[in-house]
Structure 1
Amino acid sequence: MSQHRVPVRRFSVSETARAEAFSDGIFAIAVTILVLGLAAPAHLPGRLAHALVSQWPAYVGYFASFSYVAVIWLNHHQAFVRIRSMDRGLHAANFFVLFTTAALAFPTGVVADALRSDVSDVDARVAVLLYASLASVMCLSWLVLYHYLGRHPELMDPEVEPTYVPHGRLRSLAGALAYAVAGALGSLISPLIALGIFIVLPAFYFVSSEGLPAGRGSAGDTTA
C-alpha cells in the first residue's frame, strides 16, 4: 500500500537581504521626516536670532529622536549580522520595530510645538508622555524580536554568543521601563526632566551597544 507524503513547503523561509534593504529604507525615511521638522522660523525684521533661539525644543527633539533612530539602526545591523534566515514570524517582529520607528516623527513634532509654547503647560506634559509612550512601545517591539529569536534559534548563525538574546531582552525591558519613568516624571513634575532622559537614554545604549558590562567578553548585542 503506497503512502502519500505531504509535500514540504520550501518557501516559508527566506534570506535576509530584502528585509535588510526594506528596513534601511524605513530608517532613512524616518530620519528624513525628522529633519523636515526643522524650518526657518517666522520673525520680524531684526528678530531672526531670537526666533531661532526660541525654537530650541525643535532642535532638542530632533537630536533626541535622531539619536534614538541611529541606535535602533545600529541594533538592527547587529541583529542581522547574526540572523541567517527569515520566517513569517520574524518578518512580523521586524515590521513591529519598523512601525514604531517610522512613527517617531509624530511625537517629536508634538513635543517641539508644545514646549515652544510653554515648558510648564499641561500640553507640554501630555506631549512628553506621548513621546515616552511611543518610545516604550518601540523598546517592547525589540523585546518581541529578541523573544522570537530565542524561540527560534535556527534562524540565527550557530556561532551566535549565548548571551546575545538574554541581554537583548534585558536591555529592551530596561529601556521600556526607563522611558515609562521619564513620561511619568515629565507629566507629573516637569517636562524638562523627561526631555533630559530622552537625550541621555540613546547615548547610554550607544555606549553600551557592545553589550552589558558583565558580558563584555562575549558581547556584541544591542537593543533599543
Structure 2
Amino acid sequence: MRNPRVEQYSTTDTRRAEGFADAVFAITITLLVLELRPPEVPPGQLLAGLLHQWPSYLAYVTSYLYIAVIWLNHKHAFLRIRSMNRGLHWANLGILFTTALLPFATGVLSKAVREGDPADEPTAVALYSLVGTFLCGTWVVFFRYLGHHPALLDEGVPAEFFIQETTRAWLGVILYAAAGAFGYLVAPVIALVLFLAVPTFYAITSHGLYELGIVLRRRR
C-alpha cells in the first residue's frame, strides 16, 4: 500500500529551486566582471593598455550573453513545471554546476587570446567548448527527465514541447563540440564566432522550438 505521508514529501513546489538558481546566475555574472581589471601600464599608455585587453571584453560579453540566455531559458522552462522531485532537483543542479564553470573558462580564454600564445589559444578554446558542451548536455538530461515525468508539468503542456526542447539542447552539444574541434585544429577565431552564435540561437528560441513553430505558422 502507498504511504500518503511519503507521497506528500516526494515532490515540492518550484519556488526554492528557482530562487536558488537565480542566486547562482547572479553570482556567476558578478564573477565574470572580476576578470575585467585595469591594465598595468606605464603612464601615458592607458589607452593602448585598454585596447590591448579587447579579448577580455569579448569574452565578458559572450559569457554574459550566454548566462543571460540560460536564465531566460530556465525561466521559460519553469513556467511549465508544477512541482519538483529528487531527480528533477539533481538535473537542475547539473545545469547550475556547469553554468558556474563559465567564469573560469572565460578567464582562461580571455588570458590566452590577450597574450596571443599560439600554443595556449587552442587549449583555452577547447576548454570553453568543453564547458559549453557539458552545459548543453545537462539541458538534454533536464528536458528528457521532464519528458518522462509529465506529472511534474502544468496542465496543458503538450508532450511535443519537451521532445523538441531536447532536440534544441542536442544542437547546442553539437555546435559547441564543433566549435572546439575547429578552434583547436583549424583556427581559434572560428570557435569565437560560434561561441557568439550559439547563445544568439538560444536567445531567439528561449520560448522553445515548439512555440516558435506555432508563431511562425501563424504568420504565414
Name which of 164, 174, 178 aligns with 2:175. 178
Question: Are residues 1:140 and 2:137 paired?
Answer: yes
**What is the identity, as a one-letter code, of the residue corresponding to 1:199?**
L
- How far does residue 162 in structure 1 lie from its aligned partner after superposition? 3.1
Change (3 A) 1:204 1:189: same
2:95–2:135 contact (8 Å) kept in structure 1:
yes
CA–CA separation in structure 2 for the residues paired with 1:6 and 1:190: 59
- Provide the C-alpha distance between the structure 2 equivalents of 1:90 and 1:212, rounded to a whole number of angstroms: 21
The amino acid of 1:68's aligned partner reads: Y
Match of 2:186 in 1: 189
CA displacement 1:104-128 (0-9 Å, x = unmatched): 1111000011011116x11010000
Q: Of Structure 1 and Structure 2, which has the larger fraction of its residues in helix?
A: 2
Residues 69 and 214 of structure 1, relative CA distance in 2, 3 Å threshold: closer
**Which of 191, 198, 203 is residue 200 of structure 2 equivalent to?**
203
CA deviation after TM superposition for structure 1 residue 189, in Å: 1.0
Tell me the secondary structure at the aligned position of residue 155 of structure 2.
coil
> Which blocks of at least 5 consecutive residues in structure 2 are unaligned?
none
Spell out, residue by residue over 1:67-123, the C-alpha distance to the aligned partner (whole angstroms, 9 max, x if none).
11011000100011000000000000000000000111111000011011116x110
| Matching of residue 7 in structure 1 with residue 3 in structure 2 | yes
What SS class does the counterpart of residue 14 from structure 1 fall into?
coil
**Of 54, 57, 67, the match for 1:56:** 54
The residue correspondences of 1:64-103 to structure 2 (distance < 5 A) are 64-103=62-101
Match of 1:126 in 2: 123
Secondary structure, in 3 states, of the residue corresponding to 1:82? Answer: coil
Corresponding residue for residue 222 of structure 1:
none
- Using a 3 Å threshold, how does the CA distance of structure 1 residues 6 and 217 change in structure 2: closer, same or farther? closer
Distance, in Å, in 1 between the alignment partners of 2:141 and 2:41 is 46
Letter in structure 1 aligned against 2:142: L
For the 8 Å contact 1:16–1:83, the answer to whether it is kept is yes
Q: Name the CA distance, whole Å, in 2 between partners of 1:62 and 1:71.
A: 14
TM norm structure 2? 0.93
Distance, in Å, in 1 between the alignment partners of 2:87 and 2:211 is 31
In 2, Cα distance between the equivalents of 1:162 and 1:183?
33
TM-score by length of 1: 0.91
Check 1:86–1:6 CA distance in 2 against 1; reply closer, same or farther (3 A cut). Answer: closer
Percent of matched pairs sharing the same residue: 44
CA shift at 1:218, angstroms?
Answer: 6.9
Gaps of 5+ in 1: 220-224
1:19 correspondence with 2:17: yes
